[in-house]
């Protein structure tokens, strides 16, 4: 479950680089995200805003949506990078979205503009969560 130093380094570089792909003309708040899969693949995302403000999408949901439609599964870690320090943590909607594809021990690295990070697990970010396994099984 633990990341190697090299995996964490690549994850942070890719999440930080992904900030440059953000479309955020309204907030000017750039967010980059990068997912590492258990196989060692990296999938990035960034926030994509909209003139109708609530329609905009966060970097985390862009990254996970991209990963899912790309056929990736079995995710190992996520890094989110912003320009503020300390870094931002995922919004409530993103936490539930990410919960669909992660376990409570899944690590989320939140990078600030100063390059430092705060590490929390999905279970810490979204305790007592409602997940796919909570729906009754169909027979
Ligand atoms: N945002 C993200 O993409 N991820 C976060 O974790 C926090 C907020 C975006 C949404 C919006 O485009 C901008 O940051 C300001 O809220």
Please give the Cα distance from 90 to 26 (Å, whole number).
Answer: 19
Q: Which CATH superfamily is domain 5-126 in?
A: Cytidine Deaminase, domain 2 (3.40.140.10)
Say what the alpha-carbon torsion angle 114, 58, 62, 23 is, to the nearest 10 degrees.
Answer: -80
Burial of 58 (0-12, 13-18, 19+ CB in 10 A): buried
- pLDDT, one tens digit per residue, over 101-123 is 999 999 999 999 999 999 999 99
Confidence of residue 1 (pLDDT cuts 50, 70, 90): low
Report the nearest atom of ligand 1 relative to the CA of 49.
12
The whole model's pTM is what?
Answer: 0.96
Percent of the chain with pLDDT over 70: 99
Distance 51 CA to ligand 1 centre (A): 15
């Amino acid at each position: 479950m633990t990341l190697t130093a090299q995996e964490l380094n690549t994850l942070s570089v890719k999440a930080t680089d992904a900030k440059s792909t953000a479309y955020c003309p309204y907030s000017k708040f750039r967010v980059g995200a990068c997912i590492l899969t258990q196989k060692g693949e990296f999938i990035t995302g960034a926030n994509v805003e909209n003139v109708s403000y609530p329609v905009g999408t966060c970097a985390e949901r862009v990254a996970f949506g991209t990963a899912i439609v790309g056929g990736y599964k079995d995710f190992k870690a996520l890094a989110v990078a912003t320009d503020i320090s300390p870094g931002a943590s995922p919004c409530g909607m993103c936490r539930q979205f990410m919960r669909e594809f992660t376990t409570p021990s899944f690590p989320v690295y939140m990078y600030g503009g100063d390059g430092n990070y705060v590490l929390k697990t999905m279970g810490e970010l979204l305790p007592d969560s409602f997940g796919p396994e909570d729906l009754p099984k169909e027979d």
